[in-house]
Structure 1
Amino acid sequence: MDDRVYVGNAGADGPAEGGWLLGHFMPPGDPRHSTDVEVKWGVHQPGEARSRWATGERRTALLVLVRGGRFRVELPDRTVLLAEPGDYVVWGRGVDHSWYAERESVLLTVRWPSLPGYRVEPPIRH
């Protein structure tokens, strides 16, 4: 077995790390360990919301709606609605944000770089 290769399933592996599949928080030596990028497979139930706004952001982020219906990304000056598979939003460093799942939604999130200290509490239900 090559320890430079990891084969898994996002739905099975993600819950152990809050949906995160790749990033600085994976053990050193694990092929999923990276300080360059983070990747998340997020499965959000209706009424789920980010536990608090992300402020002082030092990363760039891409969120892509893979499956589901209505996922709101709250930004300081507007709300972006991801409603069709393939809808996405990108924001850069310094953009505060939050989110809310109006309907069950599956999203792929990519953030870079992968920086320690950005974990927040699990999502809340409204």
Structure 2
Amino acid sequence: MDDGVYVGNAGKDAALDRGWLLGHFKAEGGPLHSDAVEVKWGVHARGEQRAQWVQGEVRAALLVLISGRFRLEFPGRSVLLEEQGDYVVWGQGVDHSWTAEDESVVLTVRWPSVPGYAVSREEVQDGSP
């Protein structure tokens, strides 16, 4: 019976969809589908980085460091998250990229949930030795 409630494990569920737990890309009608917000449990190896900058961003975002060291790049500014709970928020129109300086786990919330920004697994660069 579908009661509109989903219970899962972020670490296990994240592996099914490149880390994304909730958003427009999940099955219509289910509790994980949302056009309002996206949530990602990102597990990144040391040296992993986004292959290309997000440009023309139409979403706002919150990224919270769970563990590790994670660097975000913005035009003219670099932000290093080092302590559990460090976070950064950026608004619509702010281009960005990222690099995992150590093995890292981050929680990302983006709003609204819109298509067009996915980078394939093959495009994420693994800079580990």
Query: Gaps spanning 5+ residues in structure 1: where?
Result: none
Supply the RMSD in Å over aligned alpha carbons.
Answer: 0.9
Asked if the contact 1:46/1:101 (under 8 Å) is kept, the reply is yes
Q: Does 1:32 align with 2:2?
A: no
Give the match's secondary structure for 1:42. strand
Paired residue for 1:10? 10
Aligned residue pairs, count: 125
The amino acid that maps onto 2:43 is V
* TM-score after normalising by structure 1: 0.96
The answer to whether residue 45 in structure 2 is matched with residue 58 in structure 1 is no
Give the SS at the match of 2:12. Answer: helix
1:88 and 2:59 aligned:
no
Structure 2 CA distance, aligned partners of 1:55 and 1:42? 20
Deviation at 1:36, TM superposition (A): 0.2
Superposition pairs for residues 39-78 of structure 1, below 5 Å? 39-68=39-68, 70-78=69-77
Q: Aligned partners of 1:92 and 1:77: how far apart in 2? A: 15
Deviation at 1:14, TM superposition (A): 0.6
Rounded Cα–Cα distance in structure 2 between residues aligned with 1:119 and 1:46 = 21
Deviates more, 1:31-40 or 1:116-125: 116-125
Alpha-carbon distance in 2 for matches of 1:12, 1:3:
22
What residue number does 2:125 align with?
Answer: 124
> Which 4+ stretches in 1 moved above 2 angstroms?
none
Contact 1:40 / 1:108 at 8 angstroms: preserved in 2?
yes
CA contact (8 A) 1:64 1:107 kept: yes
> Contact 1:64 / 1:88 at 8 angstroms: preserved in 2?
yes
Q: Which runs of 5+ in 2 are unaligned?
A: none
Amino acid at match of 2:91: G
Shift of 1:77: 1.1
Partners of 2:28 and 2:84 lie apart in 1 by 34
Quote the residue 1:22 is aligned against. 22
* Partner secondary structure for residue 89 of structure 1: strand
